[in-house]
Structure 1
Amino acid sequence: MRELFMIVVTGATGNVGRSLVRILADAGRRVTATSRRISDADVPRGVRHHRVDLTTPEVLRPVLDGADALFLHDTATSAHLLRPQDILDAAKAGGVGRVVVLSSQGVATRPASASHGIVGRSIEDAVRRSGMDWTILRPGGFHSNAYAWSESVRTRRTVAAPFGDIGLPTVDPADIAGVAAAALHEDGHAGQVYELTGPALTTPRQRVRAIGDALGEPVRFVEQTRDEARAEMLRFMPEPVVETTLAILGEPTPAERRVSPDVERVLGRAPGSFADWARRHAAAFR
């Protein structure tokens, strides 16, 4: 197996990117971490970091010089502004031969959705055409989406959410990072599309109960109507993203409810449960 000399991680301060940088650094890989806002406090000692906005890919060019692999993270809020071909051209010019892209399950399950399917597909297609070895990661919902409840749990020990008894196999961002790390520095992942889920379906009501168990005291669940949830989500999410998100939460397709074997196939262990995630991150809810 060829040792990759340097790996560039975009979105390095996010839930996946932060874990990925740590995994790679702990494995002794040379890592360059990039994000719109990043400082020494955001990365392990010895990890180089740069402030980079992917919507202006020309600033990425010097960061990619001499790199062997790239982790490309398309954020839901700005993916429509990305020029993926420009980013990939810069990567190829810098010597990158391998790219791992964090996409979305919605590319397959919601292909007509502008926020989840159309934009994500355009990025995936650019990666496939890039001439580099590529791996595509398609997670569903993240365990860490529960951070949206942290303030109400801390202040009122209450969570309000819609569709309380509809289950989805949300995934631990640390497991996404683990799969990304394997694809970045191991052979055998080129041309693969991995669908990443947790080990089981969990409902919002069950996830709230797991947070309460992690805290050692009950957290009350209040079920919102769809309209109530929509009004709240519109305060911080674009309307197309809100509509697709509510459709997934309220009327998931069979594919969105399927537990994928891909995390275990790549990592050699079962994916982490939401309860495990809640115990590790209980401090956020205290």
Structure 2
Amino acid sequence: MILVTGATGHVARPLVDELLAAGRKVRALSRDPARAGLPDGVEVAATADLPLDGVTSVFFVTAAFPQGHEEPIGKMQAAGVRRIVALSSYSVLDDDPKNMIGVKHRELERRIDETGAERTFLRPAGGFAATALEWAERIRTDGIAPFPFKDAQTAPLHERDIAAMAARALLTDDLVGEAPLFSGPESLSYSDRARIIGEVTGEPVRFAELSHDEARQEWLRAGIPAHAVEARLRMFAKLVGRPHEISPVDSYLGRPGLTFAQWVAEHINSFRKVTT
């Protein structure tokens, strides 16, 4: 039995489909199992219950456990879970103590190592394509994509590529003990992202560059913690005018990584303008 935490999230949801297609038994955790909307054949359970009976492998995402990773990882260790595949971050390579994303994920990796389980730490680099959904409402209503760093470059990853990496780590021994770092297939500025959304939807999108103060207030209103807002501002400032290094998934997945334009095409209804 494979346990998938955060099963309705951007990465875990396509992972559930990959595991089912491989004929594996899946127990999926959701904060609200009644509304999870997962496929037939999936055993759905509440995250708070964390049922581990019969579980041999776990896909672990920290976002599923806002109270912290210590207790759930401890329970997995006590239950004798054999393999843990964790969605970590390439930020673990940044030893700046102000980088709270890096600090949190280094602690996660350290704790999982302490369990003695077979482990894989997935370290996506370049950001998630799905962060473009933060623009969805503004693009639908007035065709604007607001962001503070027009020329900051990343290599956005399609969530299905991250899920495919997780599936390989869970279903084969190829990545046991590894910490693969991988990115999307192309370096794009945030103004590039806005342009591509317009090209794919056929509805031009105007990039609107925010001041740092405007971005800070917008992100705080969106519920992003203050420390994470400041970390974001520092991180994106470092990316201005610097093409992102590409770490392809090709050698892992046997195919090219999915592009940002492909991601937009799959989520096109999120960006279609509102008509009356």
Match for residue 184 of structure 2 among 198, 201, 209: 198
RMSD over aligned Cα, in angstroms?
2.1
Superposition deviation, residue 127 in structure 1: 0.8
What's the counterpart of residue 118 of structure 2? 133
Please give the residue correspondences for 1:144-163 in structure 2 after superposition, counting only pairs within 5 Å. 144-163=130-149
Are the equivalent residues in 2 in contact too, given 1:97–1:132 (CA < 8 A)?
Answer: yes
Aligned residues: 270
Matched, 1:112 2:97: yes
Superposition deviation, residue 41 in structure 1: 5.0
1:123-157, Cα deviation, whole Å (9 max, x unpaired): 11011111100000111310000000110111111
Superposition deviation, residue 205 in structure 1: 0.7
Distance 1:111 1:67, change over 3 A: farther
Identify which range, 13-22 or 105-114, moves more after superposition: 105-114
- Secondary structure of 1:213's aligned partner: helix
- Secondary structure of 2:32's aligned partner: coil
- Secondary structure of 2:209's aligned partner: strand
* Partner Cα distance (2:99, 2:130) in 1: 23
Q: Which runs of 5+ in 1 are unaligned?
A: 1-5, 54-58
Identity %: 38
- Secondary structure of 1:33's aligned partner: strand
Distance 1:259 1:139, change over 3 A: same
What's the counterpart of residue 25 of structure 1? 20
* Partner Cα distance (2:145, 2:250) in 1: 31
Are the equivalent residues in 2 in contact too, given 1:165–1:203 (CA < 8 A)?
Answer: yes
Distance 1:267 1:13, change over 3 A: same
Matched, 1:94 2:79: yes
* Partner Cα distance (2:87, 2:76) in 1: 16
Distance 1:111 1:47, change over 3 A: farther
Matched, 1:207 2:193: yes
After TM superposition, where is structure 1 displaced by more than 6 Å over at least 4 residues in a row? 253-256
One-letter identity of the residue aligned with 1:204: Y
1:186-219, Cα deviation, whole Å (9 max, x unpaired): 1121110011210111111111111111211211
Q: Which runs of 5+ in 2 are unaligned?
A: none
* Partner Cα distance (1:110, 1:256) in 2: 22
Matched, 1:277 2:272: no
Are the equivalent residues in 2 in contact too, given 1:109–1:256 (CA < 8 A)?
Answer: no
Identify which range, 175-184 or 34-43, moves more after superposition: 34-43
Are the equivalent residues in 2 in contact too, given 1:38–1:51 (CA < 8 A)?
Answer: yes
TM-score by length of 2: 0.91
* Partner Cα distance (1:124, 1:255) in 2: 29
1:59-107, Cα deviation, whole Å (9 max, x unpaired): 31xx1111110001012993xx3142x3233223334200000111111
Match for residue 250 of structure 1 among 203, 224, 237: 237
Are the equivalent residues in 1 in contact too, given 2:153–2:243 (CA < 8 A)?
Answer: no
TM-score by length of 1: 0.88
Superposition deviation, residue 232 in structure 1: 0.7
* Partner Cα distance (1:175, 1:226) in 2: 32
Matched, 1:239 2:222: no
Distance 1:200 1:110, change over 3 A: farther
- Secondary structure of 1:123's aligned partner: helix
What's the counterpart of residue 56 of structure 1? none
Superposition deviation, residue 115 in structure 1: 2.4
Superposition deviation, residue 111 in structure 1: 4.1
* Partner Cα distance (1:169, 1:254) in 2: 13
* Partner Cα distance (1:127, 1:152) in 2: 40
